[in-house]
Chains A and B, each alone.
Chain A
Amino acid sequence: MSNKVVQAMYNDDDILMDAVKEVRAAKYHIEEVYTPFPVHGLDKAMGLKGTRIAITAFMYGCVGLVFSVWMMNYMMIEDWPQDIGGKPSFSFIQNMPAFVPIMFEMTVFFAAHLMVITFYMRSRLWPFKEAENPDPRTTDDMFVMEVIVDGNESELIAFLEKTGTVEIKVTEKH
C-alpha cells in the first residue's frame, strides 16, 4: 500500500485535540502527532495504549536490590568474613542492619538508570540520532498531525482543512 501521508499543521493544542477527535471519528488513521509540549489527553484521544515503562522500573529496582544483597553477602559474609568492630559477620541476617542503606541506594540506582535507558531505546533517543520531526516549528509552537492517505487524497485534504489546520503538506513517508 502507498506510504503517502498528509501533514496537517495546527497552531493551538485545543484545536489539535478537536481535530484528532474528528479525524478518528471519520475513521482516518492517524499515523503520528508531533507536539512541542505534552498535550494532556492527546494519547487517549489518539487511542494510544498506556506505557508500561513504570513496570519495567519496578522490575529493575528488584534486580538492584537482589544484586546488592548478593554482593554484600558474598563480600562480607562468604568470601572474607572479618571481625570488624565485633559486628557479627556469621550470617547475612545478623550483619544486615548495616547493609540497609546500600541495599536501598542500589535499588534506586538500578531502577532509575535502567528505566531511563529503556525509555531512550524505545523512543529511539541517543546521541547523533537524526531528528525526524516533519517541521522545525513542531518543537516551538506548532502541532503536526500525520494522516495516512488511504484512498481518496483530495477528499482527506478537504476534510482536514475543515478541522482548522493552518497548513497542509502531502509527502512520502520513508
Chain B
Amino acid sequence: MASNKKYWKSVEELNKNSAIVDTLKQNEFPEEIPTDLFLGDKKTLEATSTTRRDFLKYVGFTTAAVTLASCEGPVVKSIPYIIKPNDIIPGVAEYYATTIADGFDFANVLVKVREGRPIKIEPNKDANGTTNARVQASVLSLYDSLRLKGPKANGAEISWNEADQQIIAKLNEVKASGLPIAVLTGTSASPSTKKLIAKFNETFENVAHVEYDAVSESATLDAFEEMYGSRALPDYHLEKAEVIVSIGADFLGSWQGGGFEAGYSKGRVPTSGKMSRHIQFESNMSLSGANADKRIMAKPSEQNQVLLNLYQAVVSGVVSSEATPLNVAVQKAAEQLKKAGSKAVVLTGIQDKNAQLLALAINKALNSEVLDVSATKNIRKGNDADVAQLIADMNEGKIGAVIIYNSNPVYTLPNSAAFVEGLKKVKLSVAFSMQDNETANAVQYSLATPHYLESWGDVEIKKGQYSLVQPTIKTLFNTRQFQDSLLAWTGSKATYYDFLKETWNTEILGDKSWNQALHDGVFAADAVQSEAISLEVDLETAAAQLAEVKGSDLELQLYVKIGLGDGQMANNPWLQEFPDPITRTSWDNYLTISKSDADALGAVNNHVANGALNGSMVELSINGVSEILPVLIQPGQAKGSLGLALGYGRTQGLKAEMQTGKNAYKFYKNFNNFQTGATLKLVGGEHEFACVQLQNTLMGRGDIIKETTLEVFNDASLDPKHTWNLIPVVSLDHEEVEASSVDLWDSFDRTIGHHFNLSIDLNACTGCGACVIACHAENNVPVVGKDEIRRSRDMHWLRIDRYYSHEEDFAGDNEVKENGKGAMGFKKAMDALEDPSENPSVAFQPVMCQHCNHAPCETVCPVAATSHGRQGQNQMAYNRCVGTRYCANNCPYKVRRFNWFEYPNNSKFDYNMNDDLGKMVLNPDVVVRSRGVMEKCSMCIQMTQATILKAKKEGRPINTNEFETACSNACTAGAMVFGDVNKPEDTVTGLAEDKRAYHLLEHIGTKPNVVYHVKVRNTQEA
C-alpha cells in the first residue's frame, strides 16, 4: 500500500521558526561524534607497525596464497630413459620366443614385452606351441608380490655367498659320511639340467636324482616302458582319429600333460561331412566328457570293467555275458572301434599300470595310427616308487641331504607328514623355490629361484623337439637359478647360460646356429627314424590283476581343474577367479556328487536372496583321512562316485584371499586318483560358492545354441535355413523373407575400409577357457574377488556359457517346450526345464560383446558414450560414460560390465592391481577403468589398430589373416577366427557366409558382428 508517511521527531516541530529545529536541520548529527578518542591518540597510532597498506598487502597475499594452494595438481612420477636401449622403442611391443616348463605345463610361447616388462603370453605358433589358461596366466605369477625374494637359512635371510659356503661345507660332510644326496625335482625334461645333475654327481658322488610329479602319470610311464622300452609318454594325433573311446581320460584337461585339444578340434569340425565320433566313459563330468558325442557314466571301479570288456571285445572278440546297459554301450563302442580300425584310438585315465597296458594293447590290436610311440613326450617323468622309497629312506636316516627343485612335496604329498619328519632326519635339506611355499618353509635352506620369464634353460618336450627358455626381464629379486647354484657348488666359474650354450652347440645343434634357435625358441633335430621296439607283455595277468580291483559303494575320483592345475599357481588371482568350465564356479574346490546321492544324503544346493549359490557341508573320510567339504550337485556325476579337485587349500606364500578350498592331496593315496571306501557324513552349516552361472539349462531356447546331427548336416536335400539352421523370417508384401533382409532404416555403408568379424565354431570350442585369461591379460580386466562374484558382479569381458540339457539332449528340451501347450502346460514345461538331466549333454558357448551393427546399447546411452566405429566395433568412450547402466540393461547378451567400485588401488580388492609389482602386468595400450564406468569387449581395437599402423609403417597392405584379437590368438582349438570381412581372402569372410553360420538371437535384429557356427554332433552308432 502507499507509503508517503511523515515521521515526527518531537513536538518542537509543531512550532514554526524554532531555533532547535533549525540547528538540527543544519548539522547531520545532533551531537559531536567523539572521533578524537582514537584519532587524537597519536602515540598509539604511530606505535603500530601495521599501516592500512600493510593490512591490504596481507589480505592480498593470503588470498593469492589460498588460490595458488588450491591449484596444485596430482604428481604422477614417470622416469624417462637416460640412455635409450637401442632395441626398445617406447610404445612398441617386443616379442621373445621362450618356453614354459614348470613341471606341470610345457609349452612353446611368445612373450609380449612392453618397455622391458613381460605383459602377455601367446602361443608360439611357428613352433606349434599351444597355451592353456594356466600358461596364459603364468605371466602374472612373475609379479607375485609374495615370491621368495632371496636366499634364506632356517627362515633367516642370508647372502648367496654364505649360503654357498655353508651348503658346500655340509655337502662335503655328507659326502664324507658316504650317505647319498637325493635331488628331488619335478619333471624338468631339460637335457642340460640332466647333464648338470650328472656333473653334480661326479663332484659329490652317489647323488640320486628322484623325479616327482605332483599329479602322477607313473602308471602310464611304467606301462609304456614295459611295452615299448622307454620310460616316456606316447603321443596321440587325435586329428587322425575317426573314433575316440576314452575311459576316464580327461584328455582335454590335463591328462598326460594335456595339449590334445588342437588335434581333437581339427577332427571335430565337419568339413567335407566327416567328423570324429567321441565316446566317453567317466565318473566326474570332465571337459572331455562334456564334449563327447556319447557320454556314459561309470564310476571308477566300473571303468576298469569297461576297459576289460572293451579289451576282450576288441582283441579276442569275446562279448561279456550279462547285457547291462554299460556292457551294451561297451559293445557298441567296440564295434565302432573295430569298424574304424587303424583310425580309432582308446585312451584311459585309470592310474593303474595294467589298465594302461590294456589300453596300449587295444590300440596295438587296432594298429591305430593315432597312437604315436616313436615321437614320445617327456613332460611327465615322475616315479611313484622312487618317491615312496626316498621318503622311507629319509625316515630311516639313510639319506644325507635332500635338494628339492621345482616341486612342493610338503604340500602335494599325500603322506606329507612323513616327508616333513624325514626332512628333520637329514643333515642338509635345501629347497629351490620361486614361492615362499610349504616346502620352502620346511627345509633348512630355501633358495629363491627366478620365474621362467627371468631364466635360461632348455626343454625336450617331445623326442627330438628341443625348446629354449630365455629371460625376458632382469630378475626382479635376489634370485639365482637352480642350475647356476649347482654350477657354483661344483666349483665351476661358468654361468648356466655358458653351460647351456655349450651343451647345445656340442650335443644338440650340430652345425646349426644358436642365435637362430634362440630366436625361434625351438630346434627340431633331424628325426632319427628309430623303429619303436615293442616287447612281449603278459596281458592275461594284467587283465586278471585289473579284474581283481574291488570297488565300493562310494568312490572318490580326484581330478585337477583347468584353473589351478596342481596348485603351484594358487596365488594367481586370474586363475582363482577363472570360472571352472564345467561348474562355472570360481575361488573353490568342492565335492561333486550326483543328484540321487545328494538326496540320499540330504545334502542340498540352494540359492540365497541375491541368487548366490550355497551348498551343504559334509565330512568325507577315506580310510582314516577325513576333511570337511562343501558339496556341489553335479549333473552327469556317476552314481556312487564323488569328484574332488587337487591343487586347492594351500596356506603358505598366499594372500588371505587366495587361501581357498581344501587340500585334496591328503586323499591322493599311492598317487592314485581313484580311491575306494569313501564315506560321507552330513555336518551342519552351508558353504558359500562363487558361481557365475546360476541357471544351468538352456530352457529349450534352441536358437541360442543351434545343434544338429551329422546325418542331418550331411543330408544335401535339406535347406539349412529352413531345417537345422533356422533363421527368423518376416512377411514383406505377403512374401516370406529373411528378417535380416528387412530394415526400417537406410543402413551405413560398411563396405569401405576394414569391417571386423569374429567367428566362433561351437564344434571346435572345447570350453577350455584359454581365451578368458588371454582377454583378462590383454584388457586389464580387474579381479573382483569371491564376494563380488557371489553378487553376480564378475568382470569377465569374455565368458564361456555352459548349458546342460534337461532331456538327454537339447533336441529333447525343444520338444518338451513345444509340447507345453496352454498356459499351464507352458508353465509346467518351463519349471521342468529348469533342472538338468542326470546325465545331460553339454554345450559351451563363448560370449563376448557381439558388436551389433544395430546395437541396442548405443541408442539408449544419454551421453553418446558408446557408439559404432567405422570398422564395425561397438566402442566405449570411458571418459564420457556417466554410468547410468541403461546400456547394460538393454543388452540382450548381457556382456556389459559395470565398475561397481574402484578396483585398482583399493585395499578392499587386494589383487594384482593393488600393488606396484602386480601393476607391472598391465597393458599400457588399454586404459584401466575407473569406478562408475561401464566396460566391455572392444574387439581388441588396440591390437587391430597396431596391426594397421605396422602395415602402414612398412608401406604394405594388411596381410591375409593378419588381424587378431587376444581370444582368437589364444584359441588353440581354432574355434575363434577373427578377421576383416571386407577382405575376401581372410578366412573369416568365408566362415561368416558358411551354411553353419548364425547370429546369436538373430530375431532381435541387432545384426551382430560375431558369428557362431551350428554345433554338429556325431550320433552315428556303429
Q: Which residues of A contact B (CB under 8 A)?
A: 82-88, 90, 94, 130-136, 171, 174
Give the contact-size bracket for chain B: 20 to 34
In B820-874, which residues have CB < 8 Å from any A CB?
853-859, 864, 867-870
CB contact between B868 and one of A84, A90, A131 (< 8 Å): that residue: A84
Question: Judging by beta carbons under 8 Å apart, are B746 and A90 in contact?
Answer: yes
Return A71 CB to nearest CB of chain B, in Å. Answer: 15
CB contact between A86 and one of B3, B4, B747, B870 (< 8 Å): that residue: B747
Bound-complex Cα distance A134 to B748 (A): 71
Q: Is the interface of B mostly helix, strand, loop or mixed?
A: loop
Bound-complex Cα distance A132 to B745 (A): 62
B14 proximal to A (CB < 8 A): no
B1007 proximal to A (CB < 8 A): yes
Bound-complex Cα distance A39 to B2 (A): 24
Question: Judging by beta carbons under 8 Å apart, are B864 and A85 in contact?
Answer: no
Residue from A82, A94, A135, A174 whose CB has the most chain B CB atoms within 10 Å: A82
Bound-complex Cα distance A135 to B1 (A): 6
Q: Which 3 A-B pairs have the closest CB atoms?
A: A85-B859, A83-B868, A86-B854
Question: Judging by beta carbons under 8 Å apart, are B4 and A174 in contact?
Answer: yes
Q: Is the interface of A mostly helix, strand, loop or mixed?
A: loop
Question: Judging by beta carbons under 8 Å apart, are A84 and B854 in contact?
Answer: no
Could you say which residues of chain B place their CB within 8 Å of the CB of A85? 854-859, 868
A94 with B746: in contact, given A84-B858, A134-B2 (CB under 8 Å)?
Answer: yes
Bound-complex Cα distance A86 to B740 (A): 14
Could you say which residues of chain A place their CB within 8 Å of the CB of B869? 83
Return A169 CB to nearest CB of chain B, in Å. Answer: 11
Could you say which residues of chain A place their CB within 8 Å of the CB of B868? 82-86
In B740-788, which residues have CB < 8 Å from any A CB?
745-748
Bound-complex Cα distance A25 to B864 (A): 68
Could you say which residues of chain B place their CB within 8 Å of the CB of A90? 746
A134 with B747: in contact, given A82-B864, A82-B867, A85-B855 (CB under 8 Å)?
Answer: no
Q: How many A-B residue pairs have CB under 8 A?
A: 51
Question: Judging by beta carbons under 8 Å apart, are B853 and A86 in contact?
Answer: yes
Return B936 CB to nearest CB of chain A, in Å. Answer: 15
Could you say which residues of chain A place their CB within 8 Å of the CB of B856? 85
Question: Judging by beta carbons under 8 Å apart, are B859 and A136 in contact?
Answer: no
A133 with B1: in contact, given A83-B868, A85-B858, A86-B853 (CB under 8 Å)?
Answer: yes
CB contact between A87 and one of B1, B2, B745, B857 (< 8 Å): that residue: B745
Bound-complex Cα distance A131 to B2 (A): 8
**What are 6 A-B pairs at a CB distance below 8 A?**
A83-B870, A84-B864, A84-B867, A84-B868, A86-B868, A88-B745
Question: Judging by beta carbons under 8 Å apart, are A86 and B864 in contact?
Answer: no
Q: Hey, what's the 0/1 contact readout for B713-750 against A, CB within 8 Å counting as 1? A: 00000000000000000000000000000000111100
Bound-complex Cα distance A140 to B3 (A): 20
Question: Judging by beta carbons under 8 Å apart, are B858 and A132 in contact?
Answer: no
CB contact between B1 and one of A84, A88, A94, A131 (< 8 Å): that residue: A131
Could you say which residues of chain A place their CB within 8 Å of the CB of B858? 83-86
Output the nearest chain B residue to A97 by Cβ-Cβ distance. B744
Bound-complex Cα distance A93 to B746 (A): 12
Return B424 CB to nearest CB of chain A, in Å. Answer: 70
Could you say which residues of chain B place their CB within 8 Å of the CB of A94? 745-746
Question: Judging by beta carbons under 8 Å apart, are B1 and A134 in contact?
Answer: yes
Output the nearest chain A residue to B868 by Cβ-Cβ distance. A83
In B866-884, which residues have CB < 8 Å from any A CB?
867-870
Question: Judging by beta carbons under 8 Å apart, are B859 and A84 in contact?
Answer: yes
Question: Judging by beta carbons under 8 Å apart, are B2 and A86 in contact?
Answer: no
Question: Judging by beta carbons under 8 Å apart, are A86 and B1 in contact?
Answer: no
Output the nearest chain B residue to A133 by Cβ-Cβ distance. B1
Question: Judging by beta carbons under 8 Å apart, are B1 and A132 in contact?
Answer: yes
Bound-complex Cα distance A83 to B857 (A): 12
Bound-complex Cα distance A174 to B2 (A): 9
Return A21 CB to nearest CB of chain B, in Å. Answer: 27
Bound-complex Cα distance A132 to B870 (A): 67
Could you say which residues of chain A place their CB within 8 Å of the CB of B855? 85-86
Residue from B746, B857, B869, B870 whose CB has the most chain A CB atoms within 10 Å: B746
Output the nearest chain A residue to B747 by Cβ-Cβ distance. A86
Bound-complex Cα distance A130 to B2 (A): 9
Bound-complex Cα distance A94 to B3 (A): 63
Return B360 CB to nearest CB of chain A, in Å. Answer: 59
Return A157 CB to nearest CB of chain B, in Å. Answer: 20
Could you say which residues of chain B place their CB within 8 Å of the CB of A171? 2
A86 with B867: in contact, given A132-B1, A132-B2, A134-B2 (CB under 8 Å)?
Answer: no
Return B505 CB to nearest CB of chain A, in Å. Answer: 59
Bound-complex Cα distance A52 to B855 (A): 49
Bound-complex Cα distance A156 to B800 (A): 98
Residue from A82, A83, A171 whose CB has the most chain B CB atoms within 10 Å: A83
Could you say which residues of chain A place their CB within 8 Å of the CB of B1? 131-136
Q: Hey, what's the 0/1 contact readout for B260-282 against A, CB within 8 Å counting as 1? A: 00000000000000000000000
Output the nearest chain B residue to A130 by Cβ-Cβ distance. B3
Could you say which residues of chain B place their CB within 8 Å of the CB of A84? 858-859, 864, 867-868
In B1-38, which residues have CB < 8 Å from any A CB?
1-4
Could you say which residues of chain B place their CB within 8 Å of the CB of A174? 2, 4
Could you say which residues of chain A place their CB within 8 Å of the CB of B745? 86-88, 94
Return B283 CB to nearest CB of chain A, in Å. Answer: 49
Output the nearest chain A residue to B1005 by Cβ-Cβ distance. A86
